Amino acid sequence: MRALVVGSGAIGLRTAVELIRRKVPVTLRSPVSPLHPSVCSIGAGGLWMPFHCDDSRTDRWASETLDELWSLGKEEDNDLVEIMPAVSLENNNNELVRQTEDTNSTYTDTDKLPTWTKDPRLEFQQLTVEMLGWQNIVKKLRIPTEEELKRAGYWHAWMFQTPIVDSPKMLQALLKEIEENPDADVDVETGEYYESVDHMQEVAQSLSCDTVINCAGMGSHAMCQDKNLVGGRGVLLQVERNNCPRRPSLQGMEQDAVLLTEARPWGSDTEPCYMIPRGNIIAIGGTYLEGDTHPQLRDSERKRLMENAQLMGIDIANANILGEWTGFRPYRPIVRCEEEETQGHVRVIHSYGHGGSGWTVNVGAAKEVADILLRT
Ligand X SMILES: Cc1cc2nc3c(=O)[nH]c(=O)nc-3n(C[C@H](O)[C@H](O)[C@H](O)COP(=O)(O)OP(=O)(O)OC[C@H]3O[C@@H](n4cnc5c(N)ncnc54)[C@H](O)[C@@H]3O)c2cc1C
Contacting positions for ligand X (CB under 6 A): 6-12, 30-32, 39-41, 44-47, 193-194, 215-219, 223, 234, 236, 285-286, 327, 329-330, 352, 354-360
In the complex, the smallest distance separating the C-beta of residue 39 from ligand X, rounded to whole angstroms, is 4
| Least distance (Å) between residue 133 CB and ligand X | 26
User: How would DSSP label each residue in 306-371?
Assistant: HHHHHHTTB-GGGS-EEEEEEEEEEEEEEEEEEEEP-SSSSEEEEEEEEGGGHHHHHHHHHHHHHH
Single out the residue of 318, 197, 199 nearest to residue 248, CA to CA: 318
* 136 vs 261, beta carbon nearer ligand X: 261
Nearer to ligand X, 63 or 145 (CB): 63
Q: Which is nearer to ligand X, 73 or 356 (CB)?
A: 356
What minimum distance in Å lies between the beta carbon of 311 and ligand X?
18
Q: What is the CA radius of gyration of the chain?
A: 21
Q: How far is the CB of 98 from ligand X (least distance, A)?
A: 30
User: Based on CB atoms, which residue is closest to ligand X, 107 or 193?
Assistant: 193
Nearer CB in complex with ligand X: 329/347: 329
Task: Provide the CA 218 distance to its chain's centre, in angstroms.
Answer: 15
CA dihedral (174, 178, 180, 186) positive or negative:
negative
In the bound state with ligand X, the residue whose beta carbon lies nearer, of 168 and 358, is 358
Strands 321-340 and 347-354, by their bridges, are antiparallel
Longest C-alpha distance within the chain, in Å? 73
SS3 (DSSP) at 18: helix
Shorter beta-carbon distance to ligand X: residue 250 or 335? 335
Closer of 10 and 141 to ligand X (Cβ): 10
**Shortest spacing between CB 283 and ligand X, in angstroms:** 7
Contact residues for 111 (Cβ-Cβ < 8 A; gap 6+): none
Cα separation, 203 vs 225, in Å, equals 19
Q: Which residues contact 3 (CB under 8 A, 6 or more apart)?
A: 19, 24, 25, 26, 27, 209, 210, 211, 212, 213, 373
Q: Which residue is nearest to ligand X (CB)?
A: 219
Exposure class string for 20-48: b at 16+ Cβ within 10 A, else e: beeebbbbbbbbeebeeebbbbbbbbbbb
Kindly give the pairing relationship between strand 125-128 and strand 156-165. antiparallel
* Least Cβ distance, residue 44 to ligand X (angstroms): 3
Q: Could you tell me the smallest distance in angstroms from the CB atom of residue 288 to ligand X?
A: 8
Best CA proximity match to 143, nearest among 278, 281, 311, 291: 311
Half-sphere exposure of 190 (CA within 13 A, CB side): 16
CB of 236 to ligand X, least distance (A): 5
State the nearest-atom distance from the C-beta of 261 to ligand X, in Å: 15
Nearer Cβ to ligand X (236/316): 236
